[in-house]
Amino acid sequence: GAVVSQHPSRVICKSGTSVKIECRSLDFQATTMFWYRQFPKQSLMLMATSNEGSKATYEQGVEKDKFLINHASLTLSTLTVTSAHPEDSSFYICSARDGTGPLNNSPLHFGNGTRLTVT
Amino acid sequence: SQQGEEDPQALSIQEGENATMNCSYKTSINNLQWYRQNSGRGLVHLILIRSNEREKHSGRLRVTLDTSKKSSSLLITASRAADTASYFCATANTGGFKTIFGAGTRLFVKA
Protein backbone atom coordinates (compact mmCIF):
# COMPACT_ATOMS: atom_id res chain seq x y z
CA GLY A 1 0.00 0.00 0.00
CA ALA A 2 0.80 3.72 0.15
CA VAL A 3 1.90 4.15 -3.44
CA VAL A 4 2.69 7.55 -4.89
CA SER A 5 2.79 7.90 -8.65
CA GLN A 6 4.64 10.78 -10.25
CA HIS A 7 4.88 11.62 -13.91
CA PRO A 8 6.39 12.32 -16.22
CA SER A 9 9.58 10.60 -15.15
CA ARG A 10 11.59 12.65 -17.61
CA VAL A 11 10.87 15.80 -19.51
CA ILE A 12 12.94 17.99 -21.77
CA CYS A 13 11.62 21.41 -22.59
CA LYS A 14 12.79 24.59 -24.20
CA SER A 15 13.65 27.67 -22.23
CA GLY A 16 10.60 29.85 -21.64
CA THR A 17 8.04 27.08 -21.71
CA SER A 18 6.11 25.68 -18.76
CA VAL A 19 6.14 22.13 -17.51
CA LYS A 20 3.56 20.40 -15.32
CA ILE A 21 4.46 17.52 -13.03
CA GLU A 22 1.73 15.38 -11.48
CA CYS A 23 1.83 13.56 -8.19
CA ARG A 24 -0.91 11.10 -7.27
CA SER A 25 -1.53 9.03 -4.19
CA LEU A 26 -2.93 5.80 -5.61
CA ASP A 27 -4.30 3.96 -2.62
CA PHE A 28 -4.63 6.54 0.10
CA GLN A 29 -5.81 10.07 0.57
CA ALA A 30 -3.23 12.76 1.07
CA THR A 31 -4.45 16.05 2.44
CA THR A 32 -0.85 17.22 2.30
CA MET A 33 1.88 16.54 -0.22
CA PHE A 34 5.44 17.78 -0.26
CA TRP A 35 7.54 18.85 -3.19
CA TYR A 36 11.30 18.46 -3.06
CA ARG A 37 14.09 19.38 -5.42
CA GLN A 38 17.34 17.48 -5.66
CA PHE A 39 20.56 18.44 -7.40
CA PRO A 40 23.02 15.75 -8.48
CA LYS A 41 24.64 13.97 -5.57
CA GLN A 42 22.96 16.28 -3.10
CA SER A 43 20.17 16.00 -0.60
CA LEU A 44 16.52 16.85 -1.00
CA MET A 45 15.52 20.45 -0.52
CA LEU A 46 11.94 21.02 0.55
CA MET A 47 10.33 23.47 -1.84
CA ALA A 48 6.76 23.64 -0.67
CA THR A 49 3.97 21.95 1.18
CA SER A 50 0.89 21.37 -0.92
CA ASN A 51 -2.41 21.54 0.96
CA GLU A 52 -5.62 20.14 -0.47
CA GLY A 53 -8.12 22.86 -1.13
CA SER A 54 -5.90 25.72 -0.05
CA LYS A 55 -2.74 27.56 -1.01
CA ALA A 56 0.61 25.90 -0.85
CA THR A 57 3.16 26.90 1.75
CA TYR A 58 6.50 27.73 0.19
CA GLU A 59 9.90 27.48 1.80
CA GLN A 60 12.05 30.54 2.06
CA GLY A 61 13.73 31.37 -1.22
CA VAL A 62 11.30 29.43 -3.40
CA GLU A 63 9.43 31.63 -5.86
CA LYS A 64 5.73 30.87 -5.68
CA ASP A 65 5.07 32.46 -9.05
CA LYS A 66 7.76 30.32 -10.60
CA PHE A 67 6.69 27.03 -9.06
CA LEU A 68 2.90 26.88 -9.11
CA ILE A 69 1.34 24.22 -6.95
CA ASN A 70 -2.24 23.06 -7.17
CA HIS A 71 -3.77 20.44 -4.89
CA ALA A 72 -7.29 20.17 -6.16
CA SER A 73 -8.17 16.77 -4.75
CA LEU A 74 -7.14 14.43 -1.96
CA THR A 75 -5.12 12.33 -4.39
CA LEU A 76 -3.55 14.79 -6.80
CA SER A 77 -1.06 17.60 -6.52
CA THR A 78 0.62 19.29 -9.46
CA LEU A 79 3.76 21.36 -9.71
CA THR A 80 4.09 23.65 -12.71
CA VAL A 81 7.47 25.13 -13.47
CA THR A 82 6.60 28.31 -15.33
CA SER A 83 8.83 29.99 -17.88
CA ALA A 84 11.47 27.38 -17.30
CA HIS A 85 15.14 28.25 -17.61
CA PRO A 86 18.22 26.01 -17.71
CA GLU A 87 18.88 26.66 -14.01
CA ASP A 88 15.53 25.03 -13.25
CA SER A 89 16.91 21.75 -14.57
CA SER A 90 16.80 19.37 -11.64
CA PHE A 91 15.21 16.28 -10.17
CA TYR A 92 11.83 17.04 -8.63
CA ILE A 93 10.27 14.58 -6.20
CA CYS A 94 6.88 14.60 -4.55
CA SER A 95 5.88 12.82 -1.38
CA ALA A 96 2.89 12.32 0.85
CA ARG A 97 1.90 10.78 4.15
CA ASP A 98 -0.91 8.33 4.50
CA GLY A 99 -3.42 10.43 6.37
CA THR A 100 -5.00 7.55 8.21
CA GLY A 101 -2.21 7.35 10.76
CA PRO A 102 -0.80 9.95 13.12
CA LEU A 103 0.72 12.46 10.76
CA ASN A 104 3.57 13.33 13.04
CA ASN A 105 4.77 9.73 13.25
CA SER A 106 4.11 8.49 9.77
CA PRO A 107 6.78 8.11 7.11
CA LEU A 108 6.73 9.82 3.75
CA HIS A 109 5.90 7.90 0.61
CA PHE A 110 7.71 9.16 -2.46
CA GLY A 111 7.05 9.28 -6.14
CA ASN A 112 9.85 8.18 -8.43
CA GLY A 113 10.77 11.72 -9.33
CA THR A 114 10.84 13.78 -12.50
CA ARG A 115 14.08 14.64 -14.24
CA LEU A 116 13.58 18.06 -15.81
CA THR A 117 16.03 19.29 -18.42
CA VAL A 118 15.57 22.79 -19.79
CA THR A 119 17.47 23.51 -22.97
CA SER B 1 17.47 24.55 5.52
CA GLN B 2 18.86 21.07 5.84
CA GLN B 3 19.05 20.08 9.47
CA GLY B 4 20.66 16.68 9.35
CA GLU B 5 24.31 16.12 8.67
CA GLU B 6 25.54 12.70 7.82
CA ASP B 7 28.85 11.01 7.76
CA PRO B 8 30.53 9.56 6.00
CA GLN B 9 29.54 11.25 2.76
CA ALA B 10 30.57 8.13 0.90
CA LEU B 11 31.35 4.61 2.01
CA SER B 12 32.75 1.71 0.02
CA ILE B 13 32.77 -1.78 1.52
CA GLN B 14 32.96 -5.41 0.50
CA GLU B 15 29.90 -7.60 0.34
CA GLY B 16 29.32 -9.27 3.69
CA GLU B 17 30.76 -6.42 5.73
CA ASN B 18 28.71 -4.16 7.93
CA ALA B 19 28.01 -0.56 6.98
CA THR B 20 27.49 2.15 9.57
CA MET B 21 26.20 5.61 8.76
CA ASN B 22 25.77 8.43 11.22
CA CYS B 23 23.44 11.38 11.32
CA SER B 24 23.43 14.46 13.50
CA TYR B 25 20.70 17.04 13.81
CA LYS B 26 20.26 20.38 15.48
CA THR B 27 16.77 20.93 16.83
CA SER B 28 14.25 19.01 18.91
CA ILE B 29 12.60 16.24 16.98
CA ASN B 30 9.47 14.16 17.09
CA ASN B 31 11.04 11.29 15.22
CA LEU B 32 13.93 10.44 12.95
CA GLN B 33 13.62 8.46 9.77
CA TRP B 34 16.00 6.73 7.44
CA TYR B 35 15.41 6.48 3.72
CA ARG B 36 17.16 4.81 0.84
CA GLN B 37 17.45 6.19 -2.69
CA ASN B 38 18.62 4.28 -5.71
CA SER B 39 20.17 6.45 -8.38
CA GLY B 40 17.61 8.54 -10.24
CA ARG B 41 14.68 7.21 -8.25
CA GLY B 42 12.44 8.33 -5.43
CA LEU B 43 13.14 7.55 -1.81
CA VAL B 44 12.03 4.45 0.02
CA HIS B 45 11.29 4.58 3.72
CA LEU B 46 13.40 2.15 5.75
CA ILE B 47 12.71 2.78 9.40
CA LEU B 48 11.27 5.39 11.75
CA ILE B 49 12.43 5.81 15.32
CA ARG B 50 10.52 8.00 17.73
CA SER B 51 12.19 10.44 20.04
CA ASN B 52 11.42 8.26 23.07
CA GLU B 53 13.01 5.19 21.51
CA ARG B 54 16.70 4.36 21.64
CA GLU B 55 17.05 1.46 19.25
CA LYS B 56 15.05 -0.20 16.55
CA HIS B 57 15.60 -3.19 14.29
CA SER B 58 14.19 -4.18 10.94
CA GLY B 59 15.73 -7.19 9.24
CA ARG B 60 19.39 -6.39 8.62
CA LEU B 61 18.90 -2.79 9.69
CA ARG B 62 19.59 -1.44 13.14
CA VAL B 63 18.96 2.17 14.04
CA THR B 64 19.97 3.92 17.22
CA LEU B 65 18.94 7.33 18.46
CA ASP B 66 20.66 9.43 21.10
CA THR B 67 18.60 12.55 21.70
CA SER B 68 21.09 13.90 24.22
CA LYS B 69 23.74 13.99 21.51
CA LYS B 70 21.22 14.71 18.75
CA SER B 71 22.55 11.84 16.70
CA SER B 72 21.45 8.61 15.09
CA SER B 73 23.18 5.74 13.37
CA LEU B 74 22.07 3.24 10.76
CA LEU B 75 23.81 -0.12 10.69
CA ILE B 76 23.35 -2.48 7.77
CA THR B 77 24.66 -5.92 8.61
CA ALA B 78 25.98 -8.49 6.14
CA SER B 79 25.78 -6.02 3.29
CA ARG B 80 24.93 -7.07 -0.24
CA ALA B 81 25.70 -5.51 -3.60
CA ALA B 82 22.00 -4.65 -3.85
CA ASP B 83 22.39 -2.38 -0.81
CA THR B 84 24.34 0.04 -2.99
CA ALA B 85 22.38 3.29 -2.79
CA SER B 86 22.26 6.64 -1.05
CA TYR B 87 20.94 6.68 2.48
CA PHE B 88 19.37 9.73 4.06
CA CYS B 89 18.29 10.52 7.55
CA ALA B 90 15.33 12.84 7.95
CA THR B 91 13.83 14.55 10.93
CA ALA B 92 10.34 15.73 11.72
CA ASN B 93 10.28 18.60 14.17
CA THR B 94 8.20 18.53 17.30
CA GLY B 95 5.31 19.96 15.29
CA GLY B 96 5.76 16.81 13.25
CA PHE B 97 4.76 18.27 9.98
CA LYS B 98 7.71 19.03 7.77
CA THR B 99 10.41 16.47 7.12
CA ILE B 100 13.91 17.75 6.52
CA PHE B 101 16.60 15.60 5.00
CA GLY B 102 20.26 15.25 5.77
CA ALA B 103 23.02 15.35 3.19
CA GLY B 104 23.08 11.60 2.74
CA THR B 105 25.67 8.85 2.61
CA ARG B 106 26.46 7.15 -0.68
CA LEU B 107 27.09 3.50 0.01
CA PHE B 108 28.83 1.28 -2.51
CA VAL B 109 28.96 -2.44 -1.79
CA LYS B 110 31.43 -4.34 -3.89
CA ALA B 111 30.57 -7.88 -4.88
Res. B1: pLDDT tops 80: no
Q: Which residue type sits at A35?
A: W
| pLDDT tens track for B6-65 | 888 999 999 999 999 999 998 888 889 999 999 989 999 999 999 999 999 999 999 999
How far off is chain B from A76, nearest CA to CA, in Å?
17
Strand partners, A6: A23
Q: Is B7 exposed, middle or buried (0-12, 13-18, 19+ CB in 10 A)?
A: middle
| Contact between chains at A43 and B92 (C-beta distance less than 8 A) | no
Other residues' Cβ atoms within 10 Å of the Cβ of residue B94: 12
Res. B94: pLDDT tops 80: no
pLDDT at position A100 is: 58
pLDDT at position A8 is: 97
Chain B positions with Cβ closer than 8 Å to A = 2, 30-31, 33, 35, 40-45, 48, 50, 88, 90, 92, 95-104, 106
Res. B3: pLDDT tops 90: no
Res. B2: pLDDT tops 50: no
Cα torsion through B7, A35, B42, B78, rounded to 10: 30
Give me the average pLDDT of each 10-residue run along chain A (119 residues): 92 97 92 92 91 90 95 92 97 85 74 96
* Helix and strand counts by DSSP (H, E) for chain B: 0, 11
pLDDT at position A52 is: 85
pLDDT at position A104 is: 60
pLDDT at position B95 is: 63
CA-based nearest residue in chain A for residue B49 = A105
Other residues' Cβ atoms within 10 Å of the Cβ of residue B43: 30
CB A119 within 8 Å of CB A86: yes
pLDDT at position A99 is: 63
